[in-house]
Amino acid sequence: MSDTNITTEQLQEWDKRYVWHPFTQMQDWEREEPIVIVRGEGSWLIDSEGRRYLDGVASMWTNVHGHCRKELNEALKAQVDRLEHSTLLGLASEQSILLARRLAGITPPGLDRFFYSDNGSTAMEVAVKMAFQYQVHRGRPERTRFITFKNAYHGDTLGTVSVGGIDIYHATFRPLLFETIQAPAPYCYRCEHGCASPAVCGMQCLSALEALMEEHGPACAGLVIEPLVQGAGGMLVQPPGFLRGVRELCDRYGLLMIADEVATGFGRTGRMFACEHENVVPDIMAISKGIAAGYLPLAVTVTNDQVYNAFRGDYAELKTFFHGHTFTGNPLACAVALKSLELFERDNLLETLQTRIIRLAERLARLTQLPHVGDIRQCGLAAGIELVEDKSTRRPYPWELKTGIRVCLEARRHGVFSRPLGNTVVVFPPLAITEDELELLMDGLERSIVAVTGE
């Protein structure tokens, strides 16, 4: 496949010998024959044997316009011949300026101060530190705590694990973490209240949140939330009005609202940013995954003048935000991000996306008939299909059975790559996937669910 004579077997062997994969039990991995991807083409990934797979998870939720999109490739090539990297510590650089200005035109009103970093975890780590230091500067040093949600995921660094709420990932590290005040997750099926409907659950969770704020509000710097949908928690969709309610409570109790739009940003929910669905303007917003269309690592923590100005002062006041990453504002990534935003417009992506969102909803509705499909949750062009051992009681498959993983392994035989979240099968294709490809993707997943759960 590539221009060397290295065989697939050699690549697989060297992978197992040298590469430690993320979120992966390597003992299982070493027993399998890993697929080695060597090329990408639109919604397709192509392996070293020439087999094609639909990219059902948009390469970890990043891909927007498809793989190797000509215009993006050209923007990257043009930039690399001008400047590959220059630091933002002590220097400004062209592409980071142009991108920030461009982003200011699409982020919620008032959010036009852009602090660059290079991945979702750092964007959120920055958000948390920024909120904390902001409270110090405005004379509220007692506001040290954060309100977080159950099932939340904000990244894998220690600060972001602290504000996370997925025990299977996070519990091991508890002795290293700072404590937060955890509010119940605004999703019926998981909230343990046994609510009658998601709307009731939303109200219950808001009341619980209000009670927490009443008690702890004055000690809190901010609240951290994934707007509209908790992604890694299992595509847990919040009922309408919830996000707005959270915004109102943050205002009433003086907490900064930190919206983690790392997964939801850049069109995934059907609008450019999830907060737009509820006309919510957070105080701090983290964006990353889709920002550079899945090409390069890039992230931004965006905030308003009020937060920004609290950090201004005489040098000796030490109000400086002492935080920064080496590859901050990388020109290659920024150039691709700029071109990606141009393509959003040129392709009318947010409009054409709507028919694919409807098509996905239709395909998901069909799955409700299947005997082992429990809850199905969709938010824009993202969905989670929960597999259950017993549909009437919603009893989940024991996690040791790896049902979700087995469905995704089966899907490969149908030319589909997906990766589950526990027993939830994830649908998260490139935004630019064609309707035909979306049908193929759903055909493959449906067949695989039937095959594995029918055993």
Ligand X SMILES: *Cc1c(COP(=O)(O)O)cnc(C)c1O
Residues that bind ligand X (CB under 6 A): 119-121, 124, 153-155, 226, 231-232, 260, 262-263, 288-289
Amino acid at 276: E
- State in Å, rounded, how far the first CA of the chain is from the last one: 37
Q: Residue 57 Cβ, how far from ligand X at the closest point, in Å?
A: 11
Do 54 and 416 form a contact (C-beta atoms < 8 A)?
Answer: yes
Q: Helices H, strands E: what count in the chain?
A: 15, 17
Q: Residue 258 Cβ, how far from ligand X at the closest point, in Å?
A: 11
Amino acid at 201: C
Q: Which is nearer to ligand X, 301 or 403 (CB)?
A: 301
Residues 6+ away with beta carbon under 8 Å from 439: 359, 363
Q: Which is nearer to ligand X, 153 or 253 (CB)?
A: 153
Dihedral angle sign, alpha carbons of residues 65, 70, 71, 77: positive
Do 79 and 332 form a contact (C-beta atoms < 8 A)?
Answer: yes
DSSP secondary structure string, 34-51?
---EEEEEBTEEEETTS-
Q: Residue 327 Cβ, how far from ligand X at the closest point, in Å?
A: 13
Q: Residue 321 Cβ, how far from ligand X at the closest point, in Å?
A: 20
Task: Name residue, tokens 């900064």.
Answer: 256
Q: Residue 183 Cβ, how far from ligand X at the closest point, in Å?
A: 16
Q: Which is nearer to ligand X, 268 or 363 (CB)?
A: 268
Cβ-proximal residue to ligand X, closest one:
120
Q: Which is nearer to ligand X, 262 or 360 (CB)?
A: 262
Distance CA 319, CA 443 (A): 56
Tokens of 38: 């060597």
Q: Which is nearer to ligand X, 190 or 391 (CB)?
A: 190
Burial class (CB in 10 A: 0-12, 13-18, 19+), 81: exposed
Q: Which is nearer to ligand X, 257 or 262 (CB)?
A: 262
Q: What is the DSSP letter of 191?
A: S
Range 102-129 burial, b when 16+ CB lie within 10 A, else e = ebeeebbeebbbbbbbbbbbbbbbbbbb
Distance CA 193, CA 323 (A): 41
The DSSP bridge partners found for residue 46 are 39, 52
Q: Residue 9 Cβ, how far from ligand X at the closest point, in Å?
A: 31
Q: Which is nearer to ligand X, 226 or 375 (CB)?
A: 226
Q: Residue 119 Cβ, how far from ligand X at the closest point, in Å?
A: 3
Amino acid at 352: T
Q: Which is nearer to ligand X, 177 or 203 (CB)?
A: 177
Do 44 and 67 form a contact (C-beta atoms < 8 A)?
Answer: yes
CA dihedral of residues 413, 415, 418, 419 (deg, nearest 10)? 30
Q: Residue 269 Cβ, how far from ligand X at the closest point, in Å?
A: 12
Q: Residue 291 Cβ, how far from ligand X at the closest point, in Å?
A: 10
Q: Which is nearer to ligand X, 155 or 404 (CB)?
A: 155
